Amino acid sequence: MMPKVNLVKTLVLSASFLTWTHSAFSQTLEEVASKPNGNYTTKNIWIGMAPDATATEQALNIGGRIKLLGTANAYTPGIDGTQPTIYRSGTSAGTYPFNTYDNLVLQAGIVNKDIVMVTGNTPAPRMVIKNDGFIGVGTTSPTTKLDVRDGSININPGANNVFRIGYANMGNTTYGNSPYIGFNAFLYSSNGSNVFTPLNNSGAGLVIKGDDAGSGLHFYQRTFNNPSPYYDLNTFTEVMTLTPNGALGIGTNSTGVHKLAVEGSIGARKVKVNVSGWADFVFDPSYDLPKLADVERYVKEHRKLEGIPSAEEVNSEGIELGDMNKRLLQKVEELTLYLIEMKKENEELKAQNQQILDRVTVLEKKQK
């Protein structure tokens, strides 16, 4: 049994400790009142830091971290759900703080309210999570799941840094389940037809659509000048097609055997065509230059130069630039040889004429 003296000392020390603890707690939490639903105070509360005498608002000031312990909570649609709330949600794991089963929940509270992030020396909204789940960066009125305004999205280079676009379940059976990218156009409805709506109901819209049937990428464009904000994809113009084998069609979706098919004109400052072989063989001494009489007979019979495609062939098959330039150069070089030969003949004729003139002059002098 404990001696009476020690027992008395223990009781006295315990009472003193309780008195000091109550006094210290009372000095820290001033004017704590009790209500049926719990205790409260209208003063500032400071935890882990010294009080700031200049503080004017009533707040809970914490100089450190906050741990949410105890049993996890579920989403709160009831009375508590009308107030902004932070709590841990998940399967409870004793009194430990966040574990692999916990989630940190930031709940906006009040039906149809948002979560807004505000920063800056002059506080301004920077990001918002709307009540419907839309996220806005640089805007508080996002119109898509992720809406970024007045800035750019940067994806740093790297093996694992990618920009992913999922499937859009396009209801029109012509397209099936097709991924798409829209510029000033996003899929509004796919119930039987694919209806797009512009983000801005003026200017142009572009839809780049893939196809699970393996037909490549299709680029659709249209100008939004109709008061209606809804446009069926069938009213767009397919301006470009990239086939699965890498062929590109511009103004046409039929590339045939060509890697590039263009319906329309091409404007360029420089075009380079690689050609194997060239027509300089015409100037080789062993080259058999056709006789002009033979050329004349061929032209009269075929109404074209030998080795040059006919008008009918060009209309149906077109021309190959490299091959045609080589053929035309061959004719130019042959024509050059003809001119050189004619020049020699002319010089000979001039010399003969001069000799005849000289003889005539001598004869005229003798007759005088």
Listed range (6-10, 270-274, 326-330) with the worst mean pLDDT: 6-10
How many domains does the structure of the chain reveal?
4
CA distance 201 to 186: 12
Q: H or E stretch including 366?
A: helix 321-367
CA distance 66 to 62: 8
Of 204, 233, 262, the residue at which a domain comes to its end is 262
CA distance 196 to 181: 12
Q: 270 lies in a domain?
A: no
**More confident call, 197 vs 7:** 197
Residue 140 token pair? 């508080």
CA distance 306 to 239: 40
Q: Dihedral, CA atoms, 211, 213, 214, 216, nearest 10 degrees?
A: -30
Q: Does 119 share its domain with 192?
A: no
Cβ atoms of residues 243 and 255 within 8 Å: yes
Q: Does 98 share its domain with 137?
A: no
CA distance 293 to 272: 37
CA distance 347 to 3: 152
Q: 208 lies in a domain?
A: yes
| Tens-place pLDDT, residues 60-71 | 888 888 776 666
Of 90, 107, 124, the residue at which a domain comes to its end is 107
**More confident call, 29 vs 269:** 269
Q: Does 289 share its domain with 315?
A: yes
Q: Does 181 share its domain with 129?
A: no
Q: Does 256 share its domain with 293?
A: no
Q: Does 221 share its domain with 257?
A: yes
Q: Does 119 share its domain with 101?
A: no
Q: Does 195 share its domain with 258?
A: yes
pLDDT of residue 69: 66
- State the pTM of this model: 0.50
pLDDT of residue 74: 61
Listed in order, strand segments (DSSP E) in 193-280 are 195-197, 204-209, 217-223, 231-232, 237-242, 248-250, 260-262
Which pLDDT band, with edges at 50, 70 and 90, does 352 fall under?
very high
Q: Does 245 share its domain with 176?
A: yes
CA contacts within 13 A on the Cβ side of 18 = 6
Q: Does 54 share its domain with 15?
A: yes
CA distance 260 to 113: 53
| Tens-place pLDDT, residues 64-107 | 887 766 666 665 555 455 677 777 676 555 544 445 556 777 87
Q: Does 216 share its domain with 310?
A: no
| Tens-place pLDDT, residues 280-305 | 999 999 999 999 999 999 999 999 99
Q: 51 lies in a domain?
A: yes
Q: 54 lies in a domain?
A: yes
CA distance 153 to 146: 11
pLDDT of residue 26: 43
Q: Report the pLDDT averaged over residues 248-256.
A: 93
DSSP codes of every residue in 89-100: EES--TT-SS-T
pLDDT of residue 11: 40
Q: 163 lies in a domain?
A: no
Q: 268 lies in a domain?
A: no
Residue range of the domain that includes 346? 279-367
Taking the CB of residue 252, how many other CB atoms lie within 10 A of it? 15
Inform me whether the pLDDT recorded for 269 exceeds 60.
Answer: yes
Cβ atoms of residues 177 and 166 within 8 Å: no
Q: 228 lies in a domain?
A: yes
Q: 212 lies in a domain?
A: yes
What sign for the dihedral angle of Cα 324, 326, 327, 332?
Answer: positive
